[in-house]
Amino acid sequence: MSHIFPRHTAVKPPVAARGDGAYIIDEAGKRYLDASGGAAVSCLGHSDAAVTEAIKAQLDKIAFAHTSFFTSEAAERLADKLIAHAPEGLDRVYLVSGGSEATEAALKLARQYHLERGEPQRAHFIARLQSYHGNTIGALSAGGNMWRREPFEPMLVKMSHIDPCYAYRGRQEGESVEDYGQRVANALEAEILRVGPEKVAAFIAEPVVGATLGAVPSVPGYFRRIREICDKYGVLLILDEVMCGMGRTGHLYACEADGIAPDILCIAKGLGAGYQPIGAMLCSKAIYEAIEQGSGFFQHGHTYIGHPAAAAAAGAVLSRLTDDGLVERCRTMGEKLDAALRDRFGQHPHIGDIRGRGLFRGLELVADRETKEPFDPALKINAKLKKEAFARGLICYPMGGTIDGRRGDHVLLAPPFIIEDAQ
Ligand code: PLP
């Protein structure tokens, strides 16, 4: 009898025995094409020698030294490299162990920034519906995925949620894409004014919405307007690139495509590429200086922040992405994947929308293409799809069910950047 506490108690998954490029191979020798990287984690596939060598080399030197006493060469190098490629203004890197830790830290850093500057009343956060920012209490409070929130609702922190930028469902008839983007962005200003600008600490959003919508980017101009509104009211902008960052959209940082820089940026998943658990929160010089010149201490931390072996892995991943042209490869392979999906499913009666950037693509399933009526949630099509695909040796990431009545079912594809045309 197994003593593992599995994700689904009724499911006994096969044992993953080894990895081979884009494939995971189970104990029985069955090969699965990993077309979702788990959940957009495995950007380098499953057998990258450069990353495993970097981890081994670090372990041969030292595995762990607590950050209240030491820094490490691996962490310092990683931070320098992340900032060298980062959007304008981001200056400091706080290393954590995963995505939820990164967003949780971002919320707390935003709060502390305002405290340090003598604005203790700024404690309210605004996020978006149909978003996911992680499973810890703060991150879950920010998330707008109702199914994930529901059981824990009494424990969550009160935050506001505005509509996401989701043109497929939100754009009104006759409205231009640009006007739609401005209208949904302006909802942030309305919410800031409703709450009281002096009380709002930050706005958090995913540049390309992953798990909850299925690779939905914003329309042009949306994030520029969001940036303007945040600046006007002294509200910090936190971008959650835990899923869409690290090259996944064909840009190292997803917000490059939107032409803006946040005050705080969260990454994880592709940062360790599955070789080590690691995430990071990047923040602006102004935020860092507020802490440095104020209390001098970010009142937050976990034992494994800045873990040297994880940092060494991420350093090697980042080199593969930036020095070996894998971000560009992600962009060109993404265009091929998009064309192939449109060719195969563009006219399919139950595919309403095909979207995404880079190797981050989503298909939205509908009952009717004309009415965009979501696929019948009672059928639990996402669970069936996942099971069927897995049985045939394909790992993809279907999600959905119309929990809040305003979204459909979708399938997310996020294959490794080393994927070949035939695969
Ligand atoms: N933020 C986003 C956008 C995510 O997609 C996820 C995970 O799917 C998280 C945060 C949480 O990351 P983790 O599962 O590493 O805690």
Tell me how far apart the alpha carbons of residues 248 and 414 are, in angstroms, rounded to a whole number.
Answer: 8
Q: Is residue 20 part of a domain?
A: yes
- 293 and 336 assigned to the same domain: no
In a domain, 367, yes or no: yes
360 lines ligand 1 (CB under 6 A): no
Looking at the structure, tell me whether residues 70 and 132 fall in a common domain.
Answer: yes
HEC per residue, the chain? CCCCCCCCCCCCCCCEEEEECCEEEECCCCEEEECCHHHHCCCCCCCCHHHHHHHHHHHHHCCCCCCCCCCCHHHHHHHHHHHHCCCCCEEEEEEECCHHHHHHHHHHHHHHHHHHCCCCCCCEEEEECCCCCCCCHHHHHHCCCHHHHHHHHHHCCCCEEECCCCHHHHCCCCCCHHHHHHHHHHHHHHHHHHHCHHHEEEEEECCEECCCCCCEECCCCHHHHHHHHHHHHCCEEEEECCCCCCCCCCCCCHHHHHCCCCCEEEECHHHCCCCCCCEEEEEEHHHHHHHHHCCCCCCCCCCCCCCHHHHHHHHHHHHHHHHCCHHHHHHHHHHHHHHHHHHHHCCCCCEEEEEEECCEEEEEEEEECCCCEECCHHHCHHHHHHHHHHHCCEECEEECCCCCCCCCEEEEECCCCCCCCCC
Say whether both 284 and 396 belong to one domain: no
Distance 343 CA to ligand 1 centre (A): 31
pLDDT at 60 over 80: yes
207 in contact with ligand 1, CB cutoff 6 A: no
**Based on the domain organization, do 131 and 264 belong to the same domain?**
yes
418 within domain boundaries: no
* Residue whose CA is at the smallest distance from ligand 1 atom 14: 99
Residues in contact with 200: Cβ distance below 8 Å, sequence separation at least 6, in sequence order:
122, 124, 125, 126, 192, 233, 235
Work out how many domains the chain is built from and give that number: 2
Which of 41, 96, 100 has most ligand 1 atoms within 8 Å of its beta carbon, as the pocket-test mutant?
A: 100
Q: Which of 323, 350, 383 is the last residue of a domain?
A: 323
pTM over 0.90: yes
Domain boundaries, position 266:
53-323
Distances (CA, A) of 64 to 58, 270, 303: 10, 22, 10
Q: Which atom of ligand 1 is nearest to the CA of 39?
A: 8
Residue 80 in any domain: the answer is yes
Tens digits of residue pLDDT in 252-297? 999 999 999 999 999 999 999 999 999 999 999 999 999 999 999 9
Does position 184 have pLDDT exceeding 50, yes or no?
yes
**Do 134 and 222 fall into the same domain?**
yes
Task: Pick the last residue of a domain from 259, 293, 323.
Answer: 323
- The pLDDT > 70 percentage for the chain reads 97
Quick: pLDDT tens for 353-407.
Answer: 999 999 999 999 998 999 998 887 666 788 889 999 999 999 999 987 554 545 6
Check whether 11 has a pLDDT greater than 90: no
Q: Does ligand 1 have an atom closer than 6 angstroms to the CB of 408? A: no
Residues 363/354, Cβ–Cβ less than 8 Å:
yes
User: Is 134's C-beta closer than 6 angstroms to any atom of ligand 1?
Assistant: yes
Instruction: Determine the residue of 269, 281, 412 to mutate for testing ligand 1's pocket, defined as the one with the most ligand atoms within 8 A of the Cβ atom.
Output: 269
Q: Which atom of ligand 1 is nearest to the CA of 210?
A: 5
Give the model's pLDDT for residue 383.
Answer: 84
**Interface predicted TM-score (ipTM) of this complex, two decimals:** 0.99
Q: What is the pLDDT of residue 403?
A: 47
Mean pLDDT of 127-136: 95
- Better pLDDT: 375 or 170: 170
* CA distances, 166 to each of 75, 183, 356 (Å): 37, 12, 12
Ligand 1 pocket test: which of 101, 132, 209 has the largest number of ligand atoms within 8 Å of its C-beta?
A: 132
Q: Give the model's confidence band at 147: pLDDT under 50 very low, under 70 low, under 90 confident, else very high.
A: confident
